[in-house]
Amino acid sequence: MDIKNEEVLGDYFVIKAEEDGVNVIGLTRGAETRFFHTEKLDKGEVMIAQFTEHTSAIKVHGKAIIQTKHGTINAG
Ligand code: TRP
């Protein structure tokens, strides 16, 4: 896969679940956008992950704090 902006690869994000059953859903990079993995977090659990060659976007379902280099978002 030819990704021009290599700066996005390797960016970390942090998600802290503020309730049980928060879903972190990874979406595929490239022409076809598909859900490929769902990680379930319970209250207080933290996920530290990166955007990769395979992952260009995430969807977060539930109450959570999301930190990226762009800032912090209270979701849910
Ligand atoms: N195998 C996936 C990848 O390398 C793992 C992954 C990275 C992931 N970041 C993610 C899964 C974010 C879900 C959400 O891309």
Whether residue 1 lies inside any domain: the answer is: no
The stretch 19-27 carries a mean pLDDT of 98
- CA–centroid distance, 35 to ligand 1, in Å, is 11
Task: Count other C-beta atoms under 10 Å from residue 1's C-beta.
Answer: 6
pLDDT digits (tens, 9 = 90+) for 29-70: 999 999 999 999 999 999 999 999 999 999 999 999 999 999
16, part of any domain: yes
Residue 9: pLDDT band with limits 50, 70, 90: confident
- State mean pLDDT over 8-20: 92
**Count of domains observed in the chain:** 1
CATH number, domain of 67, equals: 2.60.40.50
Whether 24 is in a domain gets the answer: yes
Strands (E), 1-76: 12-17, 22-28, 35-41, 46-50, 55-61, 64-68, 71-75
First to last CA, the chain: 34
Tell me which residue has tokens 């977060």.
60
Residue 10 pLDDT level (bands cut at 50, 70, 90): confident
Residue 67 lies in a domain: yes
Domain that holds residue 68: 6-75
**Is the minimum distance from the CB of 49 to ligand 1 under 6 angstroms?**
yes
DSSP 8-state code for residue 18: S
CB 22 within 8 A of CB 61: yes
Tell whether 23 is covered by a domain.
yes
